[in-house]
Amino acid sequence: MTTALHEVTAVERARSEYLGEWLARYEGPTSRRTMESRLRAVQRACLECDPTTPVNLEAFAWEALDDREFFAALRNAVVERYGREHATPYVMAMRALLRFLVSRGISSRELALAALEEARLTRTPGDPEPLAFSAGDLSRLLAVCRFDPARVTGHRDMALIALTATTGARRREVVGLGVEDLDPRDRSVTLRVKGGGTRRAFLHHETTCYLDAWLEVRGDAGGPLFPALRKGGRLTERPLSDHQFWKVLGRRCEQAGVTPAIAPHDLRRWFVTSLLTSGVDVFQVSRAVGHASVQTTLRYDRRSVERLREVVESLSVPLFESLEAPEVDSGE
């Protein structure tokens, strides 16, 4: 067996050094892997290669990000591949790397400022992009999970999807859950939020049924609530990863005929939009999903502009034909 060797160039060594230093800023192995994964996704989009194709970060000219045309070309490639709705994390990784390169004197500050300004992802005001997910879609997803012949996998995925959709939790909050985070008496769950700290989310009564069915299969021993599985459905002691959550949801969407396939964050958007549509106060919705600002919550709102027409039409306005001339005081 022979292996093709690649001679590392001086340029690649320099890239390896600054990439390593930049990634080291992200504390924790998960954060580091996330940022590295985002850069690989950008590189694959630019090279127009398959998402599973191995790529070498050191072989890509990241120091050229200060060229506004190059930065814009990368941004457009990412948007074309992943869609504007999901492109932001990848563009933010590029922006963060470029700022670091400027601080190291590798990239030009003046050129970088122009690149960052021109390549900014902007939102077009107007009717928001409609939510590509419905209660019917959720029902189909849960059904294919419940009746999966692989009972362990099916019941885990069923509880995973139900809990995410009915709490609006972020995927990292969900995969980080342990059995001890559930409080059956209070019908709530304690989530570890990004940036540190915890918050409590209340469980829908039907969600507790899905969780009970899963725990009956899993057992109530300590450990991750949603563990990764070995072949044959054997439980591991490792929690499901972010990436595995994506794969689970994609596979279940395909089985249930839910198109286009959704990402875990779309369940969070569905939660916010459903509560707002049902008339829940936006401040309560903001608290429910753990947003520090109501403005952030409003960005998740996928109700159409037609909803505004309905709101306006609900006002109690006197009928034109019913108006009567006011009585005039004669002064007598």
In the set 170, 218, 252, 302, the catalytic residue is 170
Contacts of 110 (CB under 8 A, 6+ apart): none
Q: Is 170 a catalytic residue?
A: yes
Q: Average pLDDT, stretch 206-234? A: 92
* Count of beta carbons in the 10 Å neighbourhood of residue 203: 21
Give the per-residue pLDDT at 109: 86
Lowest mean pLDDT among 117-121, 227-231, 238-242: 117-121
Is residue 2 pLDDT above 50, yes or no? no
User: How far is residue 66's CA from residue 101's CA, in Å, rounded to a whole number?
Assistant: 9
- 223 neighbors 179 (Cβ within 8 angstroms): yes
In the set 33, 68, 199, 265, the catalytic residue is 265
Give the residue with greater pLDDT, 248 vs 301: 248
Calculate the alpha carbon distances from 242 to 49, 144, 149, 172, 281 in Å: 22, 21, 25, 6, 31
Residue % of the chain over a pLDDT of 70: 86
Give the per-residue pLDDT at 84: 73
Going from N- to C-terminal start, the domains of the chain cover: 10-118, 135-265
Q: Average pLDDT, stretch 29-41? A: 85
Q: Average pLDDT, stretch 171-189? A: 92
pLDDT class of 267 with cuts at 50, 70, 90: very high
3-class SS at 190?
Answer: strand
Listed residue (9, 101, 89) closest to 56, CA to CA: 9
In the set 38, 40, 252, 291, the catalytic residue is 291
Q: pLDDT per residue over 42-74, tens digit each?
A: 999 888 887 778 888 888 989 888 888 888 888
The CATH superfamily holding the domain 135-265 is Intergrase catalytic core (1.10.443.10)
pTM: 0.61
In the set 82, 300, 302, 303, the catalytic residue is 300
Q: Is 265 a catalytic residue?
A: yes
In the set 194, 200, 243, 309, the catalytic residue is 194
Q: Is 44 a catalytic residue?
A: no
Listed residue (294, 255, 266, 302) closest to 171, CA to CA: 266
Q: pLDDT per residue over 92-138, tens digit each?
A: 888 889 999 989 888 888 888 888 876 665 554 455 666 778 889 99
Give the residue with greater pLDDT, 147 vs 263: 147
Lowest mean pLDDT among 145-149, 155-159, 293-297: 293-297
Q: Average pLDDT, stretch 65-92? A: 85
Give the per-residue pLDDT at 143: 94
Is residue 6 pLDDT above 60, yes or no? no
Alpha-helical runs (H) found in the chain: 10-23, 29-47, 68-82, 84-103, 109-118, 135-146, 151-167, 171-175, 205-218, 242-256, 264-277, 282-289, 294-298, 306-313
Residue 320: both structure tokens together: 């034109």
Is residue 309 pLDDT above 70, yes or no? no
Give the per-residue pLDDT at 126: 53
In the set 38, 252, 268, 302, the catalytic residue is 268
DSSP 224-261: BSSEEE-TTS-EEEEEPPHHHHHHHHHHHHHHHT-SSP
